[in-house]
A and B are shown apart, each in its own frame.
Chain A
Amino acid sequence: MKSEILKVRNIGISAHIDAGKTTLTERILFYTKRIHAIHDVKGKDGIGATMDSMELEKERGITIASAATYCEWCEHEINIIDTPGHVDFTIEVERSLRVLDGAILVLCSVGGVQSQSITVDQQMKRYKVPCIAFVNKCDRIGANPSRVINQLREKLGHNAVAMQIPIGLEADLRGVVDLVRMKAVYFDGENGETVRMEEIPENLLAEAARQREILIDSAAMFSDELTEAALEDSVTEELLTAAIRKATLTRELTPVFLGSAYKNKGVQPLLDAVTDLLPCPADVENLALDMDNQETPVRLVPDIAKPVVALAFKLEDGQYGQLTYIRVYQGNLSKGGTIINVRTQKKVKIGRLARMHADQMEEISRISAGFIGALFGIDCASGDTFVSPGLSLTMTSMYVPMPVISLAIVPEDHKAEINMSKALNRFTKEDPTFKAYVDEETNETIISGMGELHLEVYVERMRREYKAGVTTGAPRVAYRETITQMAEFNYIHKKQTGGSGQYGRVAGYMEPTSEEDFIFESKVTGGSIPTQFIPACEKGFRNCLAKGPKLAFPVTGIKVVINDGASHAVDSSDMAFQAAARGAFLEGYARAKPVIQEPIMKVVVETPTEFQGPVMGSLNQRRGIIVGSQDEGVMCVIETQVPLAEMFGYSTVLRSLTQGKAQFTMEFFNYKTVPVSITEEIIRKAQEEKKNVA
């Protein structure tokens, strides 16, 4: 590992799906001689790109887990984390950006700024990560880098400025013009490994000069020296680069590069930009909170002499055992040293340390401030802070978004059940956006995640890695039963056939209530029901609530008042009155016009205004009542109340309706009576289920 922290770059590569992140990383590794052969993400050789080491990733051609690697370029050490583009795996982007110092935002020159581009940009903003943009796929039909730069400005609000202009586009892409050096750059050799600098073609001179002026004007806003030099027409490369770097580090400027990773064009200048424009660990302000001083922020210094402060950002249970990826912000993690997990206050002895290259590792003796590495055999959670003994600092963890979709899973057999449990324990530990729990009411195992793909991948991994076959389905809705009118009851429980018998009479009424789930009131006078049996009556009524007479759903919103009864000197007992109460409940319930209620969710959808109509239509189709829509400029917020039963699979529907640009949140609102047609459907399904069970 490089000891000069100024020559270290920790960067992430993030983008929308299929923008070319993994392909770009593959080229970076090749040109830095980290790997000696290029393999395509979904190539015919079936090997797959270096960073997609999981079988599922190779098969599907998608990145599922973020992967870390490192390389050297121009005497700089560049640590790279390649991240997934699907929103389903957003936690990988979240955790990576939390610990990285800079990022490359990859954009497709045809697709431009897409839905996940917006999300990863927000994530970069959240963690204040400076970035440079790479407009990829300039070899494709329809490539339009200047449109993409405009979109960066309009849709993401970036002060985006072109650092290059293309020499040719689409099939004719031959190279780029570097606007800082004012030279044409070509990429020769079988894999574009040889960079050749030439004079700018004549037909591009005017455009290059114009774009350079724009670049200088933009950068001059951040440098008085550059402003003066511009006025005197004596702008040097170093001055211009320094001004651009200054503005990039504060996220006030986004330099834009272009090329085609797949066609081996534009990658080497991008690497130059990483070393010239993106921050080293010392350039980034990292803060911890002093727990002994009312959480006062404390600036961390990337000095190996200082006490250790490090953040665990990823866990992986792999072939080498439990691996904890860690970023060291201050101090030095050495083999044999001792650190404290701030959350658990447990002392941890540092065992083996490693540096990762996709799924391969290299053992090292220490991880110093400013670097990312991995520890073995540490029991912790993502987001845990580790410090030297005696220090009471903690770092803010990463933002964990709430799951948006749930599935019920059922193991195929008992062995699968055990393995499924192990798998769920591991996956939920590794991925905070993947949750698993047993629903108390329906007894189903429910898994929740960020999207259908997210859950699909975990179900497949359960099958492959844990041999746990499961079937999946929509989770059951927690219906309720209640009554809608007052009804009287007068029930005698009598079993007097000789010997000790049972006798109890309970009379009163039941009525709907909105105050509580169940209210019991005794207005019995004159001892018609002896006082000692009143609690038994209440217990009898309560026992009926767990499974309602109508469809065995829990009963709520009932007030029961007993006002009369009768007892027998010998045969009355707690048991007798419990039974009498049960009978009274059934009698009254049938007369009280019981109905089924379903959970209604408050669903708030945030969507670009252009999709407002289709979104409202989709909610309307789901028996949703649209409360209103709020205009927020280019976006609008639609508030609705929708039955939970209709929301299954909605995240996928919403994504396809809005090109992935809308999001929604869902929370419980209240219970409402199910319409008659739906009630009949529920009854029919319940009867079918009973038949199947029988």
Chain B
Amino acid sequence: MLKKDLILRNPLRLLGNERETILSPGGFGAILARAGVGKTSLMVQLALNSLLSSRNVLHISMNDPVKKVSLWYEEVFRHIAEKYQLAQMDQLWEAILPHRFIMTFKVEVFSVPKLEERLTDLTEQGIFFPNMIIIDGLPFTESAREMLQNLKQLALKHALHVWFSVRTHRHETVETDADGVPSAFQNVADLFEVLIGLQPEGEEIHVRVLKGGSSDRDHRGLQLDPATMLIMDIADKAAAV
């Protein structure tokens, strides 16, 4: 199966246009969910979608070491390969690997200037030019707005877009606005072009686009498969049954 077929069959296309990224350069997207619901898995799928399009992804983790993040990618890729019965999984994996770079930081010392310094190290040496950044584990405290604004400047400067994972808490998911954005996040929501919420309902995990995304979005269209945490289209699920 060619890379492009894999992308076309990917339900993530429902979040954006088929051949283009969901976010534009300088754009911010966030995946909001409680702990353990599937934020990292979904972000890794977004990353793999980019990698398959030969776009470079810089994955930044505040919590996990390089090895663990790498394992996430291997596991998600393996699930995708099994689902679509990829013939030459190893070769495809080796082809996309050079497009991914993992960086980890201790959350207490992370700062935008530090990130910019690290990015410059990579770009000046001609080592890696990210098109997309994933930031997993950044705490969204009250003082996060300034950091996010600086990050936005950085993203615009380097013409890349950024996805964040946002951990919400039970009480926050109760207090939401009309779009379903948790109240605790509302002070920074304007900085984000796309917001995706993962909402567990019984045994299902629904993927809800709270803001932005494709104009054709269907709120009831996407779920995470609890067994593999892969995103799936409800229509495909029904057809399989």
Contacts and interface: CB of A to CB of B under 8 A. Distances in A.
A629 B98 contact: no
Given A612-B121, A625-B97, A630 B65 contact: yes
Interface stretch (A336-344, A360-368, A409-417, A613-621): A613-621
A505 B104 CA distance: 59
A633 interface: yes
A616 B125 contact: yes
B127 A627 contact: no
B143 to A, nearest CB: 21
A639 interface: yes
Size category of the binding interface on chain A:
10 to 19
Contacts of A17: none
Nearest to B89: A514
Given A631-B109, A672-B94, A617 B125 contact: yes
Contacts of A612: 118, 121
Interface string A629-651: 11111000101000000000000
Contacts of A633: 106, 109
Contact of B104 (A613, A625, A630): A630
A628 interface: yes
Given A514-B90, A612-B118, A639-B66, A629 B103 contact: yes
B105 interface: yes
Contact of B127 (A626, A630, A631, A632): A626
A628 B97 contact: no
Interface string A123-144: 0000000000000000000000
**Counting chain A CB atoms within 10 Å of each CB, which of B97, B118, B126 scores highest?**
B118
B70 interface: yes
Contacts of A620: 125-127
21 contacts: A514-B90, A612-B118, A612-B121, A613-B125, A614-B125, A616-B122, A617-B126, A617-B127, A620-B126, A625-B97, A627-B70, A627-B101, A627-B102, A629-B102, A629-B104, A630-B65, A631-B103, A631-B105, A631-B109, A632-B106, A672-B94
B213 to A, nearest CB: 29
Given A612-B118, A633-B109, A628 B104 contact: yes
Contacts of A616: 121-122, 125, 127
Interface in B85-144: 90, 94, 97-98, 101-106, 109, 118, 120-122, 124-128
Contacts of B80: none
Contacts of B67: 639
B33 interface: no
A628 B101 contact: yes
Interface string B133-170: 00000000000000000000000000000000000000
Contacts of B125: 613-614, 616-617, 620
Contacts of A614: 125
Contacts of B94: 672
B128 A626 contact: yes
A630 B121 contact: no
A632 B105 CA distance: 8
Contacts of A632: 106
A628 B128 contact: no
A609 to B, nearest CB: 9
Given A514-B90, A617-B127, A628 B66 contact: yes
A613 B121 contact: yes
Contact of B101 (A626, A631, A672): A626
B69 interface: yes
B118 A628 contact: no
Given A612-B121, A613-B121, A633-B106, A628 B127 contact: no
Given A613-B124, A616-B127, A628 B106 contact: no
A306 B229 CA distance: 66
Given A617-B125, A628-B104, 10 more contacts: A616-B127, A620-B126, A620-B127, A627-B70, A628-B103, A629-B103, A630-B103, A631-B106, A632-B106, A633-B109
Interface in A138-176: none
Classify the secondary structure of A's interface with B. strand
Interface in A579-626: 612-614, 616-617, 620, 625-626
A613 B122 CA distance: 7
A258 B122 CA distance: 43
A618 to B, nearest CB: 9
A493 B118 CA distance: 63
A625 B128 CA distance: 10
A6 B121 CA distance: 56
B126 A629 contact: no
A353 to B, nearest CB: 52
Contact of A628 (B69, B124, B126): B69
A629 B101 CA distance: 8
Contacts of A627: 66, 70, 101-102
Contacts of B69: 628
Interface string A527-568: 000000000000000000000000000000000000000000
B38 to A, nearest CB: 22
Interface in B223-241: none
A613 B69 CA distance: 22
4 A-B pairs with the lowest CB-CB distances in the bound complex, closest first: A628-B102, A613-B121, A628-B66, A617-B125
Interface string A94-106: 0000000000000
B104 A631 contact: yes
Contacts of B98: 625
Contacts of B105: 631
B186 to A, nearest CB: 31
A629 B128 CA distance: 13
Contacts of B120: 613
Contacts of B127: 616-617, 620, 626
A627 B100 CA distance: 7
Interface string B188-221: 0000000000000000000000000000000000
A417 B98 CA distance: 45
Contacts of B66: 627-630, 637, 639
A631 B102 CA distance: 11
Contacts of B128: 626
Given A616-B125, A620-B127, A629 B118 contact: yes
Interface in A221-279: none
Interface string A464-503: 0000000000000000000000000000000000000000
A59 B102 CA distance: 48
A33 to B, nearest CB: 55
Contacts of B59: 628
Interface in A638-675: 639, 672
Contacts of A613: 120-122, 124-125
A631 B115 CA distance: 11
A515 to B, nearest CB: 12
Nearest to A629: B103
A512 B73 CA distance: 25
The residue in A514, A626, A630, A639 that gathers the most chain B C-beta atoms within 10 A of its C-beta is A630
Nearest to B121: A613
B48 to A, nearest CB: 16
B88 to A, nearest CB: 9
Nearest to B90: A514
Interface string B7-34: 0000000000000000000000000000
Which of B97, B98, B101 neighbours the largest number of chain A CB atoms within 10 Å of its CB? B101
Interface string B51-69: 0000000010000011101
A269 B127 CA distance: 54
Contacts of A629: 66, 101-104, 118
Nearest to A604: B66
